[in-house]
Amino acid sequence: MNSDSVKYDKIPFEDALAETGYGLYNYLMVALAGASGIAFIALAYGSSIIVPTSACELATSGAQQGLQMALPIGGMVLGSLVWGYLGDTRGRRGMLLASLALGAASNAVASISVSWVMLMLIQFLTVILASGIYVLSMTLLSESIPLKNRNVATLLVASVYLIGQGVISGKVTNIKVPFIQGTFNYYLL
């Protein structure tokens, strides 16, 4: 090692973030975290939009419909704890990608449910698997935004999360209306 080499002082993480400033990377992080929030909403609340239709299609009672809508909320709580731990111990990016893939795959299986119990259980599993999407994307966002901009960035993403519920319900409703009134049937056995 050369005797005239430069020594660098260690600085706290927050100071290093402040030195980097707020730029394109941060704007992209806010946009991607918002998109991740909408993806999570679609997976977590998508079944609540079709639950009223299940009264006819799956012959569900009011109590069964209530279970179909309530169980995913429990899945969010359980899944958030699990994915938070996994993100802390195994890396946020990898766990976020795993949550996205597993949630989408499980939701695809839920779309071919043949009974209300199957739909409810697979949707519960889907929400557990997809809970990491919102939790980990918000954590990644908060860790990459300078402190002076962090509140605004997280507020924007949280707003997208709330607005997304309305957007998803409108889009899904427009897509499902032609199919709900259909008279076609397909039985697997």
Q: What is the CATH number of the domain that holds 102?
A: 1.20.1250.20
Confidence at residue 183, expressed as pLDDT on a 0 to 100 scale: 57
Confidence at residue 172, expressed as pLDDT on a 0 to 100 scale: 53
CB atoms within 10 A of CB 26: 19
Confidence at residue 83, expressed as pLDDT on a 0 to 100 scale: 94
- Structure token pair of residue 177: 């209306």
Residue 181: inside a domain, yes or no?
no
Please tell me the total number of residues recorded for the chain in this structure.
189
- pLDDT per residue, tens digit, the chain (189 aa), is 555 666 777 888 788 788 888 889 889 999 999 988 888 888 888 777 777 777 777 778 888 888 888 888 899 999 999 999 999 999 999 999 999 999 989 988 988 888 888 888 999 999 999 999 989 999 999 888 888 888 999 899 888 877 777 777 665 555 555 555 555 555 555
What's the total number of domains in the chain? 1
Residue 73: inside a domain, yes or no?
yes
Confidence at residue 129, expressed as pLDDT on a 0 to 100 scale: 94
Confidence at residue 186, expressed as pLDDT on a 0 to 100 scale: 56
Residue 76: inside a domain, yes or no?
yes
Query: Exposed (0-12), middle (13-18) or buried (19+): which is 112, by Cβ within 10 Å?
Result: exposed
> Given the structure tokens 């709900």, which residue do they identify?
180
Residue 48: inside a domain, yes or no?
yes
Confidence at residue 88, expressed as pLDDT on a 0 to 100 scale: 92
Confidence at residue 82, expressed as pLDDT on a 0 to 100 scale: 95
pTM of the predicted model, to two decimals? Answer: 0.77
Residue 102: inside a domain, yes or no?
yes
One DSSP character per residue, the chain reads: --TTPPP-----HHHHHHHH-S-HHHHHHHHHHHHHHHHHHHHHHHHHHHHHHHHHHS---HHHHHHHHHHHHHHHHHHHHHHHHHHHHH-HHHHHHHHHHHHHHHHHHHTT--SHHHHHHHHHHHHHHHHHHHHHHHHHHHHHS-HHHHHHHHHHHHHHHHHHHHHHHHHHHHHHHHHHT--------
State the residue range of the domain holding 153. Answer: 22-174
Confidence at residue 175, expressed as pLDDT on a 0 to 100 scale: 56
Residues 121 and 91: beta-carbon distance below 8 Å: no
Residue 64: inside a domain, yes or no?
yes
Residue 53: inside a domain, yes or no?
yes
Residues 161 and 37: beta-carbon distance below 8 Å: yes
Confidence at residue 105, expressed as pLDDT on a 0 to 100 scale: 93
CB atoms within 10 A of CB 132: 28
Residue 15: inside a domain, yes or no?
no
